Chain A
């Protein structure tokens, strides 16, 4: 449904016409976050009214005293109102009315702080929006995790009621799993991919901006579940529990489904951009590893997230119009949900791993001052993970009774995925060979990534083994495993990326001293939190419980206290972020890391349209240490080079 706007076909890239009439109106008349909120309120009121009108006579509503139809329609129209208020549909309506679009998409809009509160089409603005958004979402969900650990301080004395506890667990898990999918692709992918491939723009700026503006909606809707009684089925939302649950489950399903759409759009835009907008000379063999990582992520997002949205939609129809997709006695099956959910759910965890691979592969050559060891192996590893990730989902269901005779197959595919994952270690170790390692903060995070992901990966082999998984499934062992891969992998890589790329994105370097403190507290706090949880799980503590065996209290207390240290380290990061970007603002406009990356060859922060001229890429990004190697790109190519490249591609197309 998104494609009909066809933004790519209606803009003149590079066209510098002044912004349309919209820019001349006073600020409060122009669409921005405040009009979006007004639209959301109106939309919710309308949708709720409509739902009551339609469904108040339903027997289901009468007996349960809760009208899920009204709530879901309320959310639906709320999102529509929110987007309409932000001005998302303006261009669509203009096109439907046959008017031409203003071409102020890329850096031509009103600058300053205000642009970050608008539906803005510059990929750099969207990247910053994503960055701030993701930090907010991450901290919210992280605070919820503190709540979980606080409750688990004691097996007998309770801080929360069992209902509140499960709500917190569900909110934490869902928020992390749905929003952190974009934690690297959103900020760094959107901001840096076009620059890294030498493009002045992305393929679908409207879809890209839309993908961001759906995330605050999903975030708020998910949080609003607490107002509706919360949801009590964790992030996996297994029916029939999710069908019998309170209206909070509507918020869960709606928010998650919405985020599925956001992921799809974000992945779609990145894919088309990388395929079609690479600068001349940017061959596939010269693509930075970060782009490869994000490319794999985008493929998984584009193909797996629609299935998630489909599943969430089925859950919503089960809860509203009383279909019976997941009700066994009426011809449905809970297995259907488990299959559909995990068909998304497993690519999802690689969506959460690949960008991390990309970042460490990107950073290692810079700080070891060596070329990346085995470029093709690294790229093959990422492609291999991407492909295999679609064929492993039933390892989440080893004990469920679904296709038990297929377990050897899924065990095989799951263990096979550790081969391409192992490539990343080969690449990392090879790159370190006789290197001249510079221990900057980003490099420390890379080292931590390898350490954490090693443990996460090896514990994953235990989980993939069907017999051993019988004990580990559903226990804290699994919980520790995926926190090692996601938090220890993805979030550490994200932090490394922040320290590495913020000078590029904001022209400001984060405080280094605080950075070291942040790193060491986070690294030690993280390992001290999650390492004991392997033991806790092995000793028999299931996930999502608020009461556990007394003998496990020491371990649990250790974990809880460590988790506060971990939380404090994130707080340090936030303080550093705010302190450096708002208060001290130490300018850093050059190339502080002496990187060969194309993104570092232009000023920081990058000017409108990124490049003055479309660059011509001359060599790979990791040619460190070679005497007389060519510069990475010619930023000011002579006239005619571009046309030659372009007509070449055209002839090739005409022949094809």
Chain B
């Protein structure tokens, strides 16, 4: 974003000046908004984590995870979690590529990340249809069945965002990622794209972390 100063703020007309001002504000808003949204989602997801530990510690009628209860299949959980986490890592790696000016490398990594994410989400939906227990079979079963759709919505929602960025990246000439574009509008475009991409990467890593946390909760410690 340091390119902006090279244009020399003093030489801007009033309208350009205001555009630059609100452009700057929009970049800040993306940064702030993403972190705030993560806070909001921590609050929402915290509700389910709270339910997990609360019901687990209460264990009313010894029905949190009764003897003989069959949980979800270990391999399913591991595969889904791995898909999402790998997807997030790929996207993070891709981000360093595009920051270094290599759009193509990012496009490739992000496309794979998108596919992995969508497959991960789809697998979770499929897993819900083949569960070896009824939703109300135990406290654990309730929390599991209740939480999964929330995570699925998070994963697929983030994938829509990634898809939008993939499509948008096509409209930006590759050279713009390497050097300062000639016009203010183009420069602003690239900067907004980059801000959004950084935000997405952070967000996707947050979702992957959520997935990881719930994998630990549901498959390791239940």
Contacts and interface: CB of A to CB of B under 8 A. Distances in A.
Please tell me whether chains A and B touch each other in their complex, using a CB distance cut-off of 8 A. yes
Given A4-B157, A6-B196, A322-B136, A639 B29 contact: no
Contact of A3 (B1, B17, B161): B161
B100 interface: no
A268 B34 CA distance: 10
Interface residues on B, range: 35 or more
Contacts of A651: 5
Interface in A490-517: none
Interface stretch (B46-54, B110-118, B210-218): B46-54
Given A307-B43, A321-B135, A97 B29 contact: no
B191 to A, nearest CB: 9
Interface in A636-652: 639-640, 642-647, 649-651
A263 B139 CA distance: 30
Interface stretch (A216-224, A311-319, A423-431, A535-543): A311-319
Main secondary structure of the interface of A (DSSP, over half): helix
Interface string B1-32: 11011000110111101111111111111101
Given A13-B26, A98-B168, A614 B39 contact: no
A199 to B, nearest CB: 8
B5 A650 contact: yes
A13 B51 contact: no
A653 to B, nearest CB: 8
B9 A646 contact: yes
A8 B54 CA distance: 39
Given A332-B142, A613-B18, A264 B1 contact: no
A9 B26 contact: yes
A375 interface: no
Interface stretch (B56-64, B76-84, B87-95, B101-109): B56-64
Contact of A646 (B21, B141, B163, B167): B21
Nearest to A260: B44
Contacts, number: 236
A277 B29 contact: yes
Interface stretch (A110-118, A131-139, A334-342): A334-342
B29 to A, nearest CB: 4
A203 interface: yes
B73 interface: no
A584 interface: no
Interface of A: 1-6, 8-15, 92, 95-98, 199-201, 203-204, 264, 268, 271-273, 275-277, 302-304, 306-307, 309-311, 313-314, 317-318, 321-325, 327-333, 335-336, 339-340, 613-614, 639-640, 642-647, 649-651, 653-654
Q: Which 4 A-B pairs have the closest CB atoms?
A: A331-B139, A4-B161, A331-B63, A310-B47
Given A13-B23, A203-B26, A317-B146, 14 more contacts: A1-B157, A9-B27, A14-B15, A276-B26, A276-B29, A302-B40, A306-B41, A329-B60, A335-B54, A336-B55, A339-B50, A339-B54, A643-B21, A647-B9
16 contacts: A12-B19, A13-B23, A201-B22, A276-B29, A306-B40, A306-B41, A307-B46, A314-B146, A317-B135, A324-B135, A324-B137, A324-B138, A330-B138, A331-B60, A331-B139, A332-B139
Interface of B: 1-2, 4-5, 9-10, 12-15, 17-30, 32-34, 36-37, 39-41, 43-44, 46-48, 50-51, 54-55, 58-61, 63-64, 66, 134-143, 145-146, 150, 153-154, 157-158, 160-161, 163-164, 167-168, 170-171, 185, 188, 192-193, 195-196, 199-200, 203
